[in-house]
Homo-oligomer: A and B are copies of this chain.
């Protein structure tokens, strides 16, 4: 083999895509993260909790440094004319620092999912078969603007025994690095590898592309941000992805609904908070009771300032309603806007949800158990509800503690992703000499 051929061979061994400075830097982070993950996987609960508490204490003690780093980001953001909503998300107020601290201390209280053997059974061969929860390994998180995600995500990954590689928005780099410094100090105090949590220290956008092909080092990538980011990650990633697309959530008021309850749930699901993924975006109403329930509800919505967009039959029943277009049924408004559609049957309601929904959260209001059971079974969303507000689809409400996101995927984990979603289960076999 001549020298050129050897060179070709070795360049074949490099990861695909460009391998500029950023790619090599990212691979370096991945490599040390993988080593740290091996240590973290077998760390005791007490040690992980000690680290979480130490990090919380460092954050509290670094309020001044965090504020200074954040003000650099805020000034730069204003100079770049970032919009007000983005600047608001970027700001690290004392309350938000306290929020990160409280979040970490809540994670301390959560049970450690790792290492327990469950479901032990004796097989006919005599072996005992069980399952043990394990960390996934190295979790890559790609997120935007909010610096508090750095501490929240690091805490959940740490408690579940995963190393994490965090790539925040370039506009928050100084804030994220200041938080990362506290995290490293806390890890070292707990005698855990400081590399178990790493914040990517570059604003080069190529860092994201590099992460997406690092399947030799990353076990999963979780994107958190706008649809554009999530679509890019989903399309380009060679690393498995846990993702959260839209929350186009529905409430369906069945003809057998308790109408007082229906009004309460439909009102709460829309108006409790507008900018959240588990808010209702489309209300479906059975034609038999539409004329009874819609006028009162419409009045309450309007009083609250909610703009209504209805199907043709809705327009016949209530006034001051815009005509909904086909596009409305797909829309995640995240705003005081609601689309309303009257349907003739449970099947029509479920077909609407299948066609236009996003598999996030859908709720039926009905007193008919048979109808409720069909809805529960046949609607394939990550959370399916009977007689409850869609707003309950949430990590805290489900008792998972904090959540690292809400999965609208079909594999691995659905709905709010807490500690358990960051783990897998391996088989364990206990024998006393069994052979086949």
Contact = CB atoms under 8 A, between A and B. Distances in A.
A59 interface: no
Given A240-B240, A414-B424, A426-B382, A435 B132 contact: no
Contacts of A386: 428-431
A387 B424 contact: no
Nearest to A387: B431
A426 B399 CA distance: 15
B389 A414 contact: no
Nearest to A388: B431
Contact of A123 (B398, B414, B428, B435): B398
Identical chains bound together, number: 2
B430 A387 contact: yes
Interface stretch (A169-177, A261-269, A304-312): A261-269
A258 interface: yes
Contacts of A125: 392, 397
Contacts of A376: 117, 132, 428
Interface residues of A, number: 70
A25 to B, nearest CB: 24
**Chain B CB within 10 A, most for which of A272, A374, A431:** A431
B425 A384 contact: no
A121 B388 contact: no
B385 A433 contact: no
A127 B242 CA distance: 27
Contact of A380 (B134, B268, B392): B134
Given A268-B435, A384-B427, A129 B411 contact: no
A380 B435 contact: no
A2 interface: no
20 contacts: A41-B378, A42-B377, A127-B385, A129-B399, A132-B376, A132-B377, A136-B410, A137-B380, A240-B410, A261-B433, A268-B435, A376-B428, A385-B428, A387-B432, A387-B434, A388-B434, A392-B431, A411-B411, A411-B412, A412-B412
B383 A115 contact: no
Given A398-B123, A399-B121, A412-B411, A391 B427 contact: no
